[in-house]
Amino acid sequence: MSAGVEEPTARDLGRASMAAVEAGDRAGWLALFSDDAVVEDPVGPSMFDPEGTGHHGPEAIAAFYDNVIGVNESIRFDIRQSFQCGDEVANVGLIRITFAGGGGVEVDGVYCYRRSADGRLAGIRAFWEPDQIRSFE
């Protein structure tokens, strides 16, 4: 970075990530990640990641966007608390997903973002429980 320009914090990057998802900005979201970033959403084995090892690198993260995020009509974040420590931030809140065909789901969780040395996202770790997902019309 040039002199006088502050590097983005983990909180800044988390907010940028959420804003890009809410705007449906695939290219903008993908541009936030460092080349060796990992997305774990949710952390551990899940319907999106059966082995529970996360989505590693640009191609896998792009596939995650296309298969999990981009297929929905909208995704909205309601962050109630945010805790930044060093190069990481943990956001406590709700994600509300409206499906393309109508209806949707919401789930409470803790959504963590880590900043890399190059000032981009090194990773996202989302802690939410699939059995706590609630439907809405």
Query: pLDDT tens, 11-70?
Result: 999 999 999 999 999 999 999 999 999 999 999 999 999 999 999 999 999 999 999 999
Query: Tell me, what's the pLDDT at 105?
Result: 98
Query: Tell me, what's the pLDDT at 81?
Result: 98
Beta bridge pairs of residue 95: 77, 107
Report whether 34 contacts 116 (CB < 8 A). yes
Residue 122 burial (CB count, 10 A): 19
Q: How far apart are CA 68 and CA 48, in angstroms?
A: 8
Q: Which letter does DSSP use for residue 132 in this model?
A: G
Residue reference for tokens 């952390």: 43
List of residues 6+ apart from 67 with CB closer than 8 A: 48
Residue 4: pLDDT band (50, 70, 90) is low
Q: Quote the mean pLDDT of the chain.
A: 96
Predicted TM-score (pTM) above 0.85: yes
Query: Tell me, what's the pLDDT at 137?
Result: 77
Beta bridge pairs of residue 125: 40, 112
